[in-house]
Structure 1
Amino acid sequence: MAPIDELRLALQQYSDRTPKDERLCKLIIAICSESRDNPQRRKLVDRLLRQLQLLPKLSKSSHPYYYEAVNKTWEWLEKHLHEFNPRRSPIQASLTTWVNTHLRYRIHDLHITHNPKVLSLDLDALERSRFYNDYLDGLEVEIERIERQEKQAVARAIVKYIDRDPEYELRNCYPRNRPDCNCQILVQRLFLQQSPEKMAVIARQLNIKTQTIYSFWKRTGLSKIQGIGRHIAQKNSDFMSG
């Protein structure tokens, strides 16, 4: 089987069939089907890079060599896209992990290059070796494990904040004259119990109209919880990159 056919088969296997994933698959195949000296390929690659730069999960860093590493990663991707081997669905997630893995490795390599007292390795030679592929495979798994741990840590921090409500912003947020139906109580009963309850059940038990709770939650409660979640996630991200 030709390499382009193997790539197409792998993309079809892991695509989640959403329009976004299907467009990404077509773009990757279109790029890899063109010769590297074809101007059309360059246009397609530029389109792919623009899409990648907008991905929320693309690794960000305050490292002094980050932007240099990003540029080198885009150069590497243009040369090696045909070697992309998706490992999970959707394709966008798998491609992001693949790019992030190389980006972080590039930052490490640039750090070594700019600090000659540190043992230096020839990255280009490693790219041609089985060692490099095995290293990236293992690193990709490790990155996924770390990302899962980070998400779990953020979730635990959000739950802890909701339970403590140190600023009373949740307990002081409720439908008019109904402090017994405050935002903290609602989010705990709707999402954080072992057996989450439905709004209709909560409304009946609190003797309040279901529509009143629903309107309050949609208009005020949900946005407040989302704001708290974003704030805690940002604090956690700053801590991890600090």
Structure 2
Amino acid sequence: MVQFDEHLRRLVSEACEHPSGSPQRQKLLTQIIRLTANRLWRESTPYYQDALQQTWLYFCRNVCEGLTGQIYNPTYGSVITWLNAYLKRRLQDFYINQNREQATTVHLRVRQSTSGGTRETIDPVDNLPATPQPPPILEDLEIWVKTDSEGELCSTYIKGRPDVNCQVLILKRLPPEVSWKELSEEFGLSIPTLSSFYQRQCLPRLRKFAELEGLL
């Protein structure tokens, strides 16, 4: 394991010697991703793939320049430790958001009496923190999705449902993401149908964009 970590550090060092977006750096970053992919934290939560996607984007943006976060520092730990720390934070964010959505659907109301004898209805969900704004790392993605210059995202849709296309789903799944449950209710389609289409058709196009931009 020590030799493997040292090998990754050398690859990172070599990658960062090349200019951002250069074919040489892209090739090395892709090699690092392939080497580490099977060693990262794994769990069977429905939002794991979304969190993992954000982790790879974070890695490519911050491993050398620290564009949207703290630059990778090998003295603080291995590449895998660094990636796992970020991945677990994103999973925690998804977990918190999911619980918030569940709390919202419960519509739990607590009635309290005021000093004047009137009764006020308080929703505990109102006291929860607002959903965070999308991190800067995803701004370029959002612009690309909305522009859809070649119309590929709009033309890729669930059979018989042109309104449920990759452009719509990607935008809704970017942070602060809309839950699959909400999307299921909005479009009248099952969660497995939506999630499967997203994994098969939309995520590959996201990865292609990331590769073209030098993020992967």
Provide the TM-score with structure 2 as the length reference. 0.42
Provide the TM-score with structure 1 as the length reference. 0.38
Query: Whose radius of gyration is greater, 1 or 2?
Result: 1
Question: Which has the bigger relative contact order, CA under 8 A and spacing at least 6?
Answer: 2
Could you say which structure has the higher helix fraction? 1
Could you say which structure has the higher strand fraction? 2
